[in-house]
């Protein structure tokens, strides 16, 4: 099998949660361009059905858009039931949905000092970022088992591996917050557990670890982040897609239980 064939995703059915977000939409585009049938799953307000329709028009590949809140068990169960009903199989799961600072800014308390941190906000973040990942992994794993195996990629963050440099947030309207780091660290533990649990069932489970992705941030923050990073810039969303295609493809057939960093060298400092 030549290298190009190993990266070919033709005919593979891949479910992407958070599929119409900043990174999720880039993942969906790249996967479809490499031949996959993509299930775009996201909150109703993110319009996943429209996103799937447009993805199919751009790439010529069948795509399905489904509404799903990963924090709601019934939604996640229905997501994989509908994916199997539509395509007959699931070959990949991109466990990408997350509650980030941008999503939670309307809840001003998300950036509270830790000494006064509200329990309700902490629990709301973990409900999406860790319990949601668990639910998608559980139901996605069932679908992969029915299909004879496949690849699962859980998305974490550098802040699930190393502590943030709080200095770069000084004077900003946003900051790193504890529930995000704690939940993303939990994703790594779950990935390793699942990799060893499903290893003999033909299911590979890995973690993608993105660095900070520029998204209309304050220019001063972008400057500070870049100065802290060996490649001297924040990530662009397209920087992540090569790793995603690799992990979903047969090129990664012997890769499981690992953390794949795409962070410009942030964690090397």
- State residue 101's pLDDT score: 58
Q: What is the mean pLDDT of residues 187-191?
A: 98
* pLDDT, tens digit (0-9, with 9 covering 90-100), for 4-32: 789 999 999 999 999 999 999 999 999 99
Three-state DSSP at 45 gives helix
How is residue 239 written in tokens? 């920087």
Given a cut of 80, whether residue 2 has pLDDT beyond it is no
pTM of the model: 0.95
Domain boundaries in the chain?
A: 3-261
pLDDT tens per residue across span 204-234 = 999 999 999 999 999 999 999 999 999 999 9
Angle at CA of residue 46, ends 27 and 209, nearest 5°: 35
Q: What is the pLDDT of residue 99?
A: 87
- C-alpha to C-alpha distance for 232 and 228, rounded to whole angstroms: 7
Only one residue has tokens 């309207």, namely: 173
> Alpha-carbon distance 32 to 11, whole Å?
10
**What pLDDT was estimated at residue 105?**
54
CATH architecture of the domain with residue range 3-261: 3-Layer(aba) Sandwich (3.40)
How confident is the model over 109-164, as pLDDT tens digits? Answer: 889 999 999 999 999 999 999 999 999 999 999 999 999 999 999 999 999 999 99
Contact 91, 141 (CB under 8 A): no
Return the percent helix, strand and coil in the chain, to nearest 5. 55, 15, 30
Catalytic residues: 180
């Amino acid at each position: 099998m030549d290298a190009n064939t190993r990266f070919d995703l033709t005919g593979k059915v891949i479910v992407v949660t958070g599929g119409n977000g900043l990174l999720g939409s880039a993942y969906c585009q790249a996967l479809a361009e490499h031949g996959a049938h993509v299930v775009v799953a996201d909150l109703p307000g993110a319009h996943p059905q429209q996103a799937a329709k447009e993805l199919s028009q751009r790439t010529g590949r069948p795509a399905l858009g489904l509404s799903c809140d990963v924090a709601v068990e019934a939604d996640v169960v229905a997501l994989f039931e509908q994916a199997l009903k539509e395509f007959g199989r699931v070959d990949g799961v991109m466990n990408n949905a997350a509650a980030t600072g941008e999503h939670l800014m309307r809840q001003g308390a998300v950036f509270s000092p830790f000494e006064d941190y509200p329990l309700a906000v902490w629990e709301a973040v973990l409900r999406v970022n860790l319990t949601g990942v668990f639910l998608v992994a559980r139901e996605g794993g069932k679908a992969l088992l029915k299909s004879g195996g496949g690849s699962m990629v859980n998305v974490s963050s550098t802040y699930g591996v190393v502590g943030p440099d709080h200095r770069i947030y000084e004077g900003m309207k946003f900051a790193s917050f504890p529930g995000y780091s704690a939940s993303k660290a939990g994703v790594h533990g779950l990935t390793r557990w699942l990799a060893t649990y499903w290893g003999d069932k033909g299911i590979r489970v890995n973690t993608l670890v993105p660095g900070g992705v520029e998204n209309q941030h304050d220019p001063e923050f972008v400057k500070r982040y870049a100065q802290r990073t060996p490649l001297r810039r924040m990530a662009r969303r397209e920087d992540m897609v090569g790793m995603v295609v690799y992990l979903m493809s047969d090129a990664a057939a012997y890769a499981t239980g690992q953390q794949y960093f795409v962070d410009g060298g942030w964690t090397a400092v």
